[in-house]
Amino acid sequence: MPNAYISGTGFYVPPRVVTNDQLREEYGIDTTDEWIRQRTGIEERRFADEGNAPSDLAVHASKMALENAELTNKDIDLIVFATLSPDFAFPGSGVILQRKLGMCDEGHFPPALDVRNQCSGFLYSLATATSMVQSGAMKNVLVIGAEVQSAALDLSSRGRGVAALFGDGAGAVIVSATDEDRGVRHFQLGADGRHADVLSQKVWDTSKRPFIPQNADGVGQVQPEMMWAQMQGKLVFKHAIERMIGVMMQTFSAQGLTLDDVDLFAFHQANLRINQYIQKSIGAPEEKFLHNIQKYGNTTAATIPILLAEAEQTGQLTRGKKVCCVAFGSGFTWGAAIIDW
């Protein structure tokens, strides 16, 4: 059975920087830079300009990953696209990315699937790609996490509890087959649907007829509590800490590892305070933890692949290092993976 390793990484963030002060000054949100930093660690985030979809950001990240892996479009056997902010309700963003990468023009039509596991989406996608490669069914899988969340944020004082958290961006990895002793060693996934409503965005409800309410002229109208993301922050914080520590320790146990065996921790970037709390609770050295939420905010499915790509670009992540990736998100869903780089 071949091993599945990450042969290339890539990332892209839009050029437009939106600081905490700009949320107040440009959007009129009743907040302050100090309030946001103290609670989340976020200093700024990136917003894509109108006309840019997650697939557009994913094109840039995918091309970088392909170049770093020294592969071409025709080497890709499968596309796995993780996002909570897809281009459309349907079709999935994976097939749109296939087209935008030029694969169709080259006569190359690999299968494409979307993963809708929000902040855990990248790890669910990585697990899918790893399984495909280890089974021998695929040799190279393009895995993307990409989000354009700024289009669906309530950028007003009413929505400040959520709006300040999120940003746009894309990260990509190529999962490839190898006979070398390296790659994704173990992954662990979990979910608890009892808390599905705690962090959700129910912009449409297919149990209703019609699924979006209409006025007398047949124009769809969505109430604010349906249109915008809703979150019970304190409950999410509590469960995030419990589940992330739990799934990480399960993964360590399965591999017979200790904290000392891990060179880098790439945690989902939802809240810097969550990750700092976990770091201190488990007694791991601060310098082993990768952080970029300060400059990008929570890019949901893109946080971990962006972290990995940046760390490789700066030389923090090099061949032979052992990486622990952990995520928690809406659903609730969570996951962890151990990777020998």
Q: Which residues are catalytically annotated?
A: 119, 268, 298
Please tell me the number of Cα atoms within 13 Å of 87 on its side-chain side: 19
Residue 152 CA to residue 29 CA, distance in Å, equals: 16
The 3-state DSSP class for residue 284 equals coil
Instruction: Give burial (CB, 10 Å; 0-12/13-18/19+) of 233.
Output: middle
| Cα 114 to Cα 119: distance, rounded to the nearest angstrom | 14
CA distance linking residue 221 with residue 212, whole number of Å: 7
Strands 3-12 and 169-178: antiparallel
C-alpha to C-alpha distance for 60 and 83, rounded to whole angstroms: 16
d(CA 289, CA 247): 17
Q: Pick from 240, 222, 64: which is nearest to 142 by CA?
A: 64
Q: At what angle do helices 233-255 and 272-282 cross, to 10 degrees?
A: 40
Determine phi and psi for 14, rounding to 5 degrees.
-60, 155
Strand partners, 231: 199
In angstroms, the CA 310 to CA 296 distance is 12
Distance CA 185, CA 5 (A): 9
Spatial neighbors of 130 by CB under 8 A, at least 6 apart, are: 4, 175, 183, 184, 187
Give, for 172, the enclosing helix (H) or strand (E): strand 169-178
